[in-house]
Structure 1
Amino acid sequence: MDILKTINELGKGTWLKYGLIETIVNMLMFLLIAYFLRRLCTRYIQKHVKVNAKFVNRIVKITLYTIAIYACLSLLTPFNDVLGKVWGSAGIIAVVLGFAAQESMGNFVNGILITTFKPFKIGDLVKVNNGEYEGYVVDISLRDTVIQTYENTKVIIPNSTMNKAVLENVSLNNNAKANFLTLDISYESDIDRAMEIIREEIKKHPDYQDGRSEQDKANHTEEVVIRLTSFNDSSITLRATVYSQSNAQGFAMLCDLRLAIKKRFDKEGIDFPYPHRTVTFKEPREKD
C-alpha cells in the first residue's frame, strides 16, 4: 500500500492535477464512458435514424471522443495553463482558424444541411449538374459525398459543391421510372403493324410496369403510348414510353426490347432504314 501511495504521489501538484494512479484511472474511466456511450448511440441511430445514419454516427463518435480527450488532458496541469492562455486569445485564434479552415468547415456545415434536409441519402440514384455525374450515393462523410458510377468508379464531390449543385434524385420517384424506346422504320413499312409489334413486345417483358394512374385506367388510356415523332430523310421515327422499377432495370429492359423487336420486324417484313447511295455513270460523249 505504501508503494501505491508513493507511486500515486508522483507528479502530483506539479504536472498532474491529481496523483499518477488517480490520473490513469480517471483517464481510463473517461475513455470507457465515451466508448459505451458511442455503442449505445450507434444502436439507437441504427434503429431510429433511417437517412444518412453513417454520417450522424460519425458526428456522434467525434463529439464523444473529443469530450473524453479534453477531459483526460484537463487532468494535466500544463494543459490547463496552456488552455488559460488559449482562452485569453480565443477571438484571434477563432478568426485565424476560420480563415484557414474555411473550406473544410463549409463542407462540414453543408454535410449537416444535407443530413438535415435530406435532398438525397445513401443508396439513392442521383444525377448531378444535368448528368455531369451520375450514379448511386455510397457515402456521405464530414467532408464529401461519394458517388459510385455505372462504370464502377467512385466520384468524390465536396459537400459544399454537392449542396449547391443542380441535382436530380431519381430514387425520390416512388412510381415507375419512364424510359424512352426510339426506333426508326422505313417509309415503306406498315406503321400500324410496327406499333402493334412494339406494344406486344413491351408488354411481354418481365420488367415492364404499367405506368398509368388510376384515372388514366378509368379513362381507358392506352397502356403503352407510341408516337410518331419525326419524318427523316429515309425513315420514320417511333417513340414508345416504357416504365420500369428503376433506371438500371430500365436500361437492361430497353436493350432486351431492341433485340426482340428486331427479330419480330425481320419476320414480318418491317425494315430498319440504312443509307443508300446511287451511283450514275455517264457515257463519254462521242467526238464529232
Structure 2
Amino acid sequence: MSSMIDSINAFGREDFFTYGLFNSILMILLFLGIAYILRSMIQRYVKRKQFSNEAFIMRMVRIVIYTLASYACLSLFKPFDSILGKLWGSAGILAVVFGLAAQESLGNMVNGILISTFKPFHIGDLVKVDNGEYEGYVVDISLRHTVIQTYENTRIIIPNSVMNKAVLENISLSSSNANFLFLQISYESDLDKAMQIIREEAEKHPHYMDIRNAEEIAADMPNIVIRVIDFMDSGIQLRATIPSRSKAEGFAMLSDLRISIKKRFDAEGIEFPYPHRTIVYKKEEI
C-alpha cells in the first residue's frame, strides 16, 4: 500500500510537480485553507472594530490574500518555475508598463485608499460634492469609485480621484441642520406680528430642534433667528433660520410650515404681496 502511494506520488515529480502528486495536492489545500482562515480572521476583526468602510477593506484583503495564495500554488508546478522567475525579474518593467497603461485606474485606487484611511466620509453619510453639484447618501466606496444615492433614488458613480479632490460638505457630521425659510409680507402688514407667528408655528412643529445651550436659554436668546434681508418691489423679504435634526426632516418641516404660516397669516391679517403697477397716461396736447 505504501509503495503504491509512493509510486502515485512520484507521478510527474520531475516533469510537472515539484513535490509529487499527493504532496502538491496537500500543499495546495493547505495554502487555500490558510488563505481562507486568514481572510475570516481579518473579517471578524474588521466587524468587531466596526470600520465604516468594511466592504472596501475586505476587497483589498481578498485581492492581496488570494493573489499570494495563487502564486504559492503555481510555484508547486514545474512548468511555472521559469514563468514565475521571469515575472519577478521583469517586475520593474511590468510595473512601469502597467502604471502607464492604467494610470487613471491606479490613481483612483490610491485615492480610494486615502479616503478609507483619513475617512472624510463614511457609508451612510449625507454629503454635498462641489458646492451641491452632487448631493446624496454614500452607499458604497470601492477601489475605483464612490457611489452616491440621490434624493431621486438614482446613483451617481464618482471616481475616487475626483472625490478626493472635490470640495466636500459632510452634512452627517453635524448634530443639527439649519433650514432657511424665505417669506415676503406686504409693506402694510404688521412686521413684528408676522415674525412672532413664524416663531410660534416653527416651535410647534415636531421636527423643530432647540439647539441653544443653558446659558443662551437663560439669557432668553431666540433659537429661531428671523432677518429682514431685503425690501422688494412689492413687499418685505424675510428669512427665518429654523434648526432641525437632519436635512430630510428640515425639508419636510419647511413644507409643513409654509402651509401652517399661510393659514395663520390669513387669520391674523398678514398679507402676502402682489405685484403692483402704476400706469400713467400722458395727455397729448392738441
Task: Please classify the TM superposition score into its range, dividing by the shorter chain length.
Answer: over 0.9
Q: Which runs of 5+ in 2 are unaligned?
A: none
* Equivalent residue number for residue 192 of structure 2: 192
1:258 to partner: Cα distance: 0.7
Where 1:54 maps in the other structure, the secondary structure is: helix
1:270 to partner: Cα distance: 1.2
Query: Quick one: distance in 2 between partners of 1:223 and 1:127?
Result: 26
Task: Specify the code of the residue in structure 2 equivalent to 1:194.
Answer: A
Q: Which runs of 5+ in 1 are unaligned?
A: none
1:277 to partner: Cα distance: 4.7
Task: Specify the code of the residue in structure 2 equivalent to 1:51.
Answer: S
2:208 corresponds to 1:216? no
Correspondence list, 1:168-247, <5 A: 168-173=169-174, 175-247=175-247
* Equivalent residue number for residue 147 of structure 1: 148
| Cα displacement string for residues 177-207 of structure 1 (whole angstroms, at most 9, x for unaligned residues) | 1111111111111111111111000000001
Query: Quick one: distance in 1 between partners of 2:264 and 2:136?
Result: 34
* Equivalent residue number for residue 54 of structure 2: 53
Matched-pair contact (CA < 8 Å) for 2:233–2:275: no
Query: Quick one: distance in 1 between partners of 2:149 and 2:248?
Result: 13
Alpha carbons of structure 1 residues 276 and 4: separation in structure 2 relative to 1, 3 Å: farther
Alpha carbons of structure 1 residues 14 and 267: separation in structure 2 relative to 1, 3 Å: same
Count, aligned residues: 285
**For structure 1, which segment, 195-204 or 51-60, has the greater mean C-alpha deviation from structure 2 after superposition?**
51-60
Query: Quick one: distance in 2 between partners of 1:55 and 1:85?
Result: 32
| Cα displacement string for residues 54-80 of structure 1 (whole angstroms, at most 9, x for unaligned residues) | 211221122111111111111111222
* Equivalent residue number for residue 272 of structure 2: 272
Task: Specify the code of the residue in structure 1 equivalent to 2:21.
Answer: L
* Equivalent residue number for residue 256 of structure 2: 256
2:158 corresponds to 1:157? yes
* Equivalent residue number for residue 82 of structure 1: 83
Task: Specify the code of the residue in structure 2 equivalent to 1:11.
Answer: G
* Equivalent residue number for residue 69 of structure 1: 70
Task: Specify the code of the residue in structure 2 equivalent to 1:168.
Answer: E
* Equivalent residue number for residue 133 of structure 1: 134
2:34 corresponds to 1:33? yes
Alpha carbons of structure 1 residues 168 and 194: separation in structure 2 relative to 1, 3 Å: same
* Equivalent residue number for residue 107 of structure 1: 108
Task: Specify the code of the residue in structure 2 equivalent to 1:142.
Answer: L
1:6 to partner: Cα distance: 3.9
Task: Specify the code of the residue in structure 1 equivalent to 2:151.
Answer: Y
2:18 corresponds to 1:17? yes
Where 2:249 maps in the other structure, the secondary structure is: helix
User: What is the TM-score with the length of structure 1 in the denominator?
Assistant: 0.92
Query: Quick one: distance in 2 between partners of 1:152 and 1:3?
Result: 65
Where 1:179 maps in the other structure, the secondary structure is: strand
| Cα displacement string for residues 81-121 of structure 1 (whole angstroms, at most 9, x for unaligned residues) | 11112222222222111111211111111111111111111
Query: Quick one: distance in 2 between partners of 1:49 and 1:56?
Result: 12
Kindly report the root-mean-square deviation, in angstroms, between the aligned alpha carbons of the 2 structures.
2.0
Query: Quick one: distance in 2 between partners of 1:95 and 1:18?
Result: 35
Query: Quick one: distance in 2 between partners of 1:213 and 1:13?
Result: 80
Task: Specify the code of the residue in structure 2 equivalent to 1:37.
Answer: L
Task: Specify the code of the residue in structure 1 equivalent to 2:16.
Answer: W
Query: Quick one: distance in 2 between partners of 1:47 and 1:211?
Result: 34
Query: Quick one: distance in 2 between partners of 1:61 and 1:86?
Result: 22
Query: Quick one: distance in 1 between partners of 2:34 and 2:16?
Result: 24
Task: Specify the code of the residue in structure 2 equivalent to 1:216.
Answer: E
Where 1:137 maps in the other structure, the secondary structure is: strand
Amino-acid identity (%): 62
| Cα displacement string for residues 145-165 of structure 1 (whole angstroms, at most 9, x for unaligned residues) | 111111111111111111111
1:15 to partner: Cα distance: 1.8
1:279 to partner: Cα distance: 6.5
**For structure 1, which segment, 69-78 or 127-136, has the greater mean C-alpha deviation from structure 2 after superposition?**
69-78
User: What is the TM-score with the length of structure 2 in the denominator?
Assistant: 0.93
1:241 to partner: Cα distance: 0.8
| Cα displacement string for residues 222-254 of structure 1 (whole angstroms, at most 9, x for unaligned residues) | 122111111100011111110011111111111
Task: Specify the code of the residue in structure 2 equivalent to 1:200.
Answer: E
Query: Quick one: distance in 2 between partners of 1:116 and 1:143?
Result: 15
